[in-house]
Structure 1
Amino acid sequence: MASTNPASTALTWRRALRWLLAAFYAFAGYVHLARPEPFLSIMPHWVPAAGPVVFWTGIAELLGALGLVQPWSPRLRQAAAIGLALYAVCVFPANINHFALDMARADSGLGLAYHVPRMIAQPLIVWLALWAGGVTDWPFRRRKPA
């Protein structure tokens, strides 16, 4: 039986998830630019200049996706990962607002089956950006004996 190298397996997973996350963000960025109306409708009222915010978040998603998968610079990849993680934190108020708006509707909008997993996924997406981008190895890195 051939043994698998754990470091090689982790690298393969990291690369695959990096590409998957980049594809997700590239698609989301495209949709932000091509069809901003749904994003404008969930924007909290306290966000100034909602139209330009949605436009620039789309640009940020596209640039972050590109930076995440570019092969030339690990430092740029890490910077893109940090940017996408911060982006996911910054859009969380819009996700909460969307949840509240939907739950206030008579038909509950998209419902709890959509919103609860989305709320749980948000911190996972933050971690995934950091892990896939090589910023952190947590929780997979083993402690070295003292």
Structure 2
Amino acid sequence: MKAMPPYIPKHEEMVILSGIAEIVLGIGLIFKQTQALAAWGIILLLIAVFPANIYMATSGKFKKIPQPLLWLRLPLQIILIWWAYLYTK
């Protein structure tokens, strides 16, 4: 919950909701019938959590994590979106 930017309301609820979405969408990738829809959902989820990654990299509050790793997460997010996109076809 510490990774949530302060402007996002209801941190605990959002973390729970995103965790449920990750599980459901991950299961959706297993089945051919739901794979494309699940992949689009994962793309949307990755876009939705991107502000938290930016916040972690720029807030200065995450000193235990090496700064280069925090910044590396940003382009990694783009790679994960591309990877999920491969499952939309």
Give TM-score scaled by structure 2 length.
Answer: 0.89
Shift of 1:100: 1.5
What corresponds to 1:4 in structure 2? Answer: none
Shift of 1:111: 2.2
Between structures 1 and 2, the one with greater helix share: 2
Q: Distance in 2 between matches of 1:114 and 1:94?
A: 14
CA deviations on 1:92-116 (whole Å, 9 max, x unpaired) are 0001111112xx25x9431233122
**RMSD over equivalenced CA pairs, Å:** 1.6
What corresponds to 1:96 in structure 2? Answer: 54
Superposed, which structure 2 residues align to 1:1-80 within 5 Å? 40-71=1-32, 73=33, 76-80=34-38
Q: Which amino acid aligns with 1:68?
A: L
Which ranges of structure 2 fall in alignment gaps of 5 or more residues? none
What corresponds to 1:117 in structure 2? Answer: 72
Q: Distance in 1 between matches of 2:31 and 2:69?
A: 32
CA pair 108-51 structure 1, distance change in 2 beyond 3 A: closer
What corresponds to 1:128 in structure 2? Answer: 83
Q: Which amino acid aligns with 1:79?
A: L
Q: Distance in 2 between matches of 1:109 and 1:43?
A: 17
Question: Structure with the greater relative contact order (CA < 8 A, sep ≥ 6): 1 or 2?
Answer: 2
Shift of 1:117: 1.8
Shift of 1:69: 1.1
Larger Rg belongs to: 1
Q: Percent of aligned pairs with the same residue?
A: 27
Give TM-score scaled by structure 1 length.
Answer: 0.56
Q: Is 1:86 aligned to 2:21, yes or no?
A: no
State the number of aligned residues.
89
